[in-house]
Chains A and B, each alone.
Chain A
């Protein structure tokens, strides 16, 4: 990895992300009336994060089977309203336990 190249990537990411955060707060004072834009932005995180999680999650651990169990555990506890940290740790713990049996 070329160090300067990585830092350049990181700074571009930071500038883009900051611009998204700063523009509405500093410039837009009126409510967005366009229902399509508002609806689109409302749905974006659900679609984007779902696309990012699956099927990539199956490659995250040492075995697709432990990952599948972790995936199911995360869904169940997230559905029951467990906190972000709880869901993250319980998914990790379930992967750990499954891999104890697999290897």
Chain B
């Protein structure tokens, strides 16, 4: 049984690779945030309060296009709904007697990577281990954003063009490995991209904002997939 400090330290150790990755990705986010018209304070505020790559990325697009506030809220709800399942899985991973204030703080740090490392811990998850992960991952995410916004001014256009694809590369690295050898996920990803292209190219549908497009296609495709290919086993991997 580790002490609270011991758990916290091993969390920091395993959080360092996450922080390095976050720095690289949020650097690009900072550049995009600047392009979307946010100042350094707003960009870092978004990173610190939201702590989510895909949601922030979509949020930039919606803010830049002055979307309705309901649209931005619903888009975050749709894009980040995966955290709901992760949070649920973590609720089974921590001690049932964990006080509410620990649950409130841990919830803030649930990202894809923090969740992945947390759920891989043998036995029950200590809140202090999660705090260790968060105490390096969050500064990595915030500092990368700050440097991205500031250096977006001074980097040559060639460099900005190259870095602008980094976040897309990261998103692909999130969805493709689990789809390897999985015909359902592979098919879903291909269908999603094709329909997304159709929405972007068809003139009738071009008046629909990207946020609404994401919502419609997600509910449609994931909804049909859930009916046709119900998942019965996947929660076992969290155990």
Q: Which residues of A contact B (CB under 8 A)?
A: 1, 3, 6-14, 16-18, 20-26, 28-29, 31-32, 35-57, 60-62, 66-67, 70-71, 73-75, 77-79, 81-93, 95-96, 99-100, 103
Other contacts beyond A20-B87, A49-B174: 18, CB < 8 A: A9-B62, A10-B63, A12-B73, A18-B107, A22-B108, A23-B84, A24-B85, A24-B88, A51-B218, A53-B171, A61-B164, A62-B158, A62-B161, A73-B169, A74-B172, A77-B173, A88-B170, A91-B169
Q: Which 4 pairs show the lowest CB-CB distances between chains A and B?
A: A91-B169, A14-B49, A50-B192, A39-B226
Count of interface residues, chain B, beta-carbon cutoff 8 Å: 101
Q: Which residues of B contact A (CB under 8 A)?
A: 20-21, 24-25, 28, 37-39, 42, 45-46, 49-52, 54-59, 62-63, 69, 72-73, 76-88, 90-92, 96, 100, 103-104, 106-108, 110, 113, 157-159, 161-180, 185, 188-190, 192-193, 195-197, 200, 210, 213-214, 217-218, 221-223, 225-227, 229-232, 234-235
* Nearest CB of chain A from residue B165's CB, rounded to whole Å: 4
Known contacts being A28-B91, A52-B57, is A75 close to B172, with CB within 8 Å? Answer: yes
Q: Is A92 in contact with B165, judged by CB distance below 8 angstroms?
A: yes
Hey, which chain A residues are within 8 Å of B104, CB to CB? 22, 26
Q: Is A38 in contact with B173, judged by CB distance below 8 angstroms?
A: no
Q: Is A88 in contact with B167, judged by CB distance below 8 angstroms?
A: yes
Known contacts being A48-B78, A95-B161, is A17 close to B50, with CB within 8 Å? Answer: yes
* Nearest CB of chain A from residue B101's CB, rounded to whole Å: 10
Q: Is A55 in contact with B172, judged by CB distance below 8 angstroms?
A: no
Q: Is B172 in contact with A78, judged by CB distance below 8 angstroms?
A: yes
Provide the main secondary structure of the chain B interface.
helix
Q: Is A23 in contact with B172, judged by CB distance below 8 angstroms?
A: no
Complex-state Cα separation, A83 to B55, whole angstroms: 21
Hey, which chain B residues are within 8 Å of A10, CB to CB? 42, 45-46, 49-50, 59, 63
Q: Is B107 in contact with A79, judged by CB distance below 8 angstroms?
A: no
Residue of B nearest to A85 (CB): B21
Known contacts being A23-B87, A31-B92, is A18 close to B108, with CB within 8 Å? Answer: yes
Hey, which chain A residues are within 8 Å of B159, CB to CB? 96
Complex-state Cα separation, A81 to B177, whole angstroms: 6
Known contacts being A20-B84, A50-B175, A79-B180, is A13 close to B42, with CB within 8 Å? Answer: no
Known contacts being A74-B172, A85-B25, is A21 close to B87, with CB within 8 Å? Answer: yes
Complex-state Cα separation, A14 to B87, whole angstroms: 16
Residue of B nearest to A26 (CB): B103
Complex partner residue of A29 from B78, B91, B107, B193, CB under 8 angstroms = B91
Complex partner residue of A25 from B56, B79, B106, B221, CB under 8 angstroms = B106
Q: Is B176 in contact with A9, judged by CB distance below 8 angstroms?
A: no
Q: Is B222 in contact with A43, judged by CB distance below 8 angstroms?
A: yes
Complex partner residue of B103 from A22, A38, A86, CB under 8 angstroms = A22
